[in-house]
Amino acid sequence: MVMAHGPTLLPTFMPVATQAAIKGLTSQQMEDLGVTLILNNTYHLNLRPGIKILREAGGAHKFQGWRKNLLTDSGGFQLVSLSKFTKITEEGALFASPFTGEPTLLTPEESISIQHAIGADIIMQLDDVVSSLTTGPRVEEAMWRSVRWLDRCIAQHKREGRPEQNLFAIIQGGLDSGLREICLEEMVKRKDSVSGFAIGGLSGGEAKDTFWKMIALCAEKLPDDKPRYSMGIGFAEDLLVCVALGVDMADCVFPTRTARFGVALTRQGPLNLRLNKYSQDLDPIDKDCACPTCRSETSRAFIYHNIGTETATAHAVTQHNIVFQAKLMGDVRDAIMKDEYPAFLKSFFKGYYANGK
């Protein structure tokens, strides 16, 4: 996939830089690690630094010194997940400003305008998100509203004339395959006005097999010539299953957040380096890993002793986890190109769950 800030190979995992900048790493470090697409949140950037500064800077790329591709989420999901006071109306998402407490409305049109000011290479429609555990008429209402809001986002995107920015639709419909199919059908009708399709409203605590069924249903019916993005997915095992089902892109705070708690990801499963058994372990996190932390042979014991006090420790694990996800997806791409994905999955899962540990 080639965008205004260069190529990004698919399938890919996108690290999340909520507030511009990955927590603990500079844009330069991210670039050096080989990452070519990260995610920012419209909601957070709109609050700080705000649209005026972003417009003056010429967009979030310049603001944060990021030269590769950028995706912004539209804001609705963050509003709903961060504040229980958010109220969804047909006009938009009504919330209390965290600064002034004033009621503030985020409409689909405004979300697109803000995302234009941010200047991300991929922008997301404003969607009406309900938790995947919600049942009843609210799920259908949110699904239809997401379709109507997609039309408003498409109209605004066309009005503002920013063709280098790629608008993605977001399929909703909860865990109901009938509603998902209706949403899919409606959104695929708009396929010429969007550059890709996301699958939203999942990974909120539902059973794995239900989650996979929804991904399978969506991925199977989405057009082959546009990228498919499963939102909020980041466990290695989920990424591999999603890719097997036809997903091209995913994002999640998990790898970077868990790093700050001292959990390093490996092909033998996550290592919780806060456990006492690592207090005298002088091995690197993973001797076969090419990340700067493992190459310098930073010891597991160093991480054990310093994770709670020294911020550089969290940075070291964050670098490792970002490289772990990137290498995993790189190996997935190689296996697919060589037509060896089933064998890759077999060997990955054997190692990941080895010895029942």
Provide the annotated active-site residues: 73, 251
Which of Zn ion, ligand GUN, none sits in contact with 289, Cβ below 5 to 8 A by type? Zn ion
Residue facing ligand GUN at closest CB distance = 200
**Nearer to ligand GUN by C-beta: 92 or 262?**
92
Cβ burial 295-311 (10 Å sphere, 16+ → b, else e): eeebbbebbbbebeeee
**Nearer to Zn ion by C-beta: 247 or 303?**
303
Residue 16 has what DSSP assignment? B
Which of ligand GUN, Zn ion, none sits in contact with 307, Cβ below 5 to 8 A by type? none
Which of Zn ion, ligand GUN, none sits in contact with 320, Cβ below 5 to 8 A by type? Zn ion
d(CA 305, CA 273): 9
Note the residues at the interface with ligand GUN (CB under 6 A).
73-74, 76-77, 124, 127, 129, 170, 200-201, 231-232
The least distance separating Zn ion from the CB of residue 21, rounded to whole angstroms, comes to: 21
**Nearer to ligand GUN by C-beta: 124 or 317?**
124
The least distance separating Zn ion from the CB of residue 350, rounded to whole angstroms, comes to: 21
The residues, any chain, with a CB within 8 Å of residue 272's CB and separated by 6 or more, are 262, 263
Give the CB-side neighbour count of residue 340, counting CA atoms within 13 A.
10
The least distance separating Zn ion from the CB of residue 314, rounded to whole angstroms, comes to: 14
Do residues 304 and 281 lie in contact, with contact meaning Cβ atoms separated by under 8 Å? yes
Which of ligand GUN, Zn ion, none sits in contact with 76, Cβ below 5 to 8 A by type? ligand GUN
> For 163, left (φ over 0), alpha (ψ -120 to 50), or beta?
alpha
293-299, long-range: CB within 8 Å, 24+ apart, which pairs? 293/317, 293/319, 293/320, 294/320
Note the residues at the interface with Zn ion (CB under 5 A).
289, 291, 293-294, 320
**Nearer to ligand GUN by C-beta: 127 or 286?**
127
d(CA 151, CA 181): 18
